Chain A
Amino acid sequence: MDNPRVSTADPHPLIACHDCDLLQRAPAPQIGTSVCCRRCGARLYRMTRDGLDRCLAMTLAAGVLFIVANAFPIVTLELQGVRAATTLFGAVRALYAQHMELVAALVFFTTILVPALELLAMSWMLGPLKFGRVAPGLSLGYRWVRSARPWGMIEVFMLGVLVSLAKLSHLASVEPGVALWSFGALVMLLAAAASSFEPHELWARVDALAAEADPQPMRIA
């Protein structure tokens, strides 16, 4: 059975725009430049210098911050001597306790589960790749990251925390906790990691490793 894959050995491979489907030849890659669709202007890919390594470093750092951000209270509220503090998971549980199971599930999913699994999947893919190995289940992890990414909303949550602090600040005294700063740093790290993750580079490296392991090429074009 012949493989339907279109050649990837070509120095100017054909690529199709994901937004308008136009076929075009990829120009010679230059580090630090983006390749955009000729017709609709969508960004097709970008060449970075060691983007995947930076992405891995930031993913690991983000993992540590994620743990800190979830382990400590985000804010402490004080009103006439009564104090209340909450962690992110505590907030989910408070919603659950009010029979807002659906909203609690939505918050848990978008701020804890998806970001945690995404960080795990990214480290799983990029860690072994750094040492020249393709992790088992890499393609599954990759597809998972691609479809889960829009649902991780830590940056929106961070803005929500700031808005609620502003709302509360004239009712009671609010004291930001360790987790709030961790969330702030986490938002920036996640944005930096996402911007240095270039699927094009990931697959170029995986393809190169596969070609090394199995010298007979599986291309027909």
Chain B
Amino acid sequence: MSPAQPTAAQLGLLACDCCGLLSRRAPAGPQRLAAACPRCGAHLHSRKPHSIGRAWAYWIAAVVLYFPANLLPIMQTSSLFDSQRDTIMSGVIFLWNDGSWPLALLVFFASVVVPLLKLIALAYLLVTVQIGMSRRRHQRTRLYRMLEFVGRWSMLDIYVVTILVALVHLQSLAEIEAGPGAIAFGAVVVLTMLAAMSFDPRLIWDANPAQERQHA
């Protein structure tokens, strides 16, 4: 079978992930050294190495930390009269009750919805690649691009805590301290970003190339 639409990998070509230059694959020999891009020097590979395994490893670590990130307080406010611990969710509820619901929605979306959707979507992409699913390739590729784009916005709450901590230390009047939830939350954001970066979207198109034409 000669594919109607050959990929670089099928013709023994390697596209540099970094600068896009196409190179010929070095002949397979006893010592297949890691090749470097002749133009920019980046490590060359047809697909990201150990893409699935690395993405799952980051994914599992992110899921484990997802719970402390949401259950532990991300900040603690103490004033003259009381002290209050806020988790991510209680911060959203506070904003909502306060009447600033656009802000509540924004924080809810960036801090709660995006990380959760990211974890679910990554698992979906990984599982469908592993079972060799050939349907919905376009949708899955688009999902991957969306993941890469929205992931960073979850850092929002980390920056909010940073600014609040720095500003609100008015000695006797009020004081805000960052809580352990912030560490876990920051780690979740970084780990989900690493998981998305480890995943290679070209794997979506590698499965069962024979079925591809009837679908395309």
Q: Do A and B bind each other?
A: yes
Asked if B117 CB lies within 8 Å of chain A CBs, one says: no
Residues from chain A with Cβ under 8 Å of B25 in the complex: 4
Asked if B137 CB lies within 8 Å of chain A CBs, one says: yes
Instruction: Give a binary string over B137-149; 1 marks a CB under 8 Å from any A CB, 0 the rest.
Output: 1100110110010
Residues from chain B with Cβ under 8 Å of A13 in the complex: 22
Instruction: Give a binary string over B187-209; 1 marks a CB under 8 Å from any A CB, 0 the rest.
Output: 10010010001000110111000
Asked if A71 CB lies within 8 Å of chain B CBs, one says: no
Give the interface size class of chain B: 35 or more
Asked if B28 CB lies within 8 Å of chain A CBs, one says: no
Q: Would you give the shortest CB distance from A208 to chain B, in whole angstroms?
A: 13
Q: Would you give the shortest CB distance from A179 to chain B, in whole angstroms?
A: 12
- Assuming A163-B103, A168-B168, is B19 touching A199 (CB within 8 A)? yes
Q: Given B22, B41, B159, B169, which contacts A14 in the complex, CB threshold below 8 Å?
A: B22
CA distance A132 to B149 in the complex (A): 34
Q: Would you give the shortest CB distance from B40 to chain A, in whole angstroms?
A: 4
Instruction: Give a binary string over A108-149; 1 marks a CB under 8 Å from any B CB, 0 the rest.
Output: 001100000000000000000000000000011011001100
Q: Given B15, B39, B148, B206, which contacts A139 in the complex, CB threshold below 8 Å?
A: B39
Instruction: Give a binary string over A166-187; 1 marks a CB under 8 Å from any B CB, 0 the rest.
Output: 1110110000000000000000
Instruction: Please give me the residue from chain A that is nearest to B138 by CB atom.
Output: A40
Q: Would you give the shortest CB distance from A200 to chain B, in whole angstroms?
A: 7
Q: Would you give the shortest CB distance from B192 to chain A, in whole angstroms?
A: 12
Asked if B55 CB lies within 8 Å of chain A CBs, one says: no
Within A17-59, the residues touching B (CB, 8 Å) are 18-23, 38-42, 44-45
- Supply 9 further A-B pairs (C-beta < 8 A) apart from A5-B39, A100-B178, A140-B41: A14-B13, A18-B17, A41-B141, A110-B155, A139-B39, A156-B153, A160-B155, A171-B174, A203-B20
Q: Which residues of B contact A (CB under 8 A)?
A: 5-9, 11, 13, 15, 17-26, 35, 38-42, 46, 95, 98, 100, 103, 106-107, 137-138, 141-142, 144-145, 148, 152-153, 155-171, 173-174, 177-178, 182-183, 186-187, 190, 193, 197, 201-202, 204-206, 216
Q: Could you list 12 examples of A-B contacts with CB < 8 Å?
A: A15-B20, A18-B202, A20-B202, A20-B204, A21-B7, A23-B5, A39-B5, A41-B142, A94-B166, A160-B158, A163-B160, A199-B19
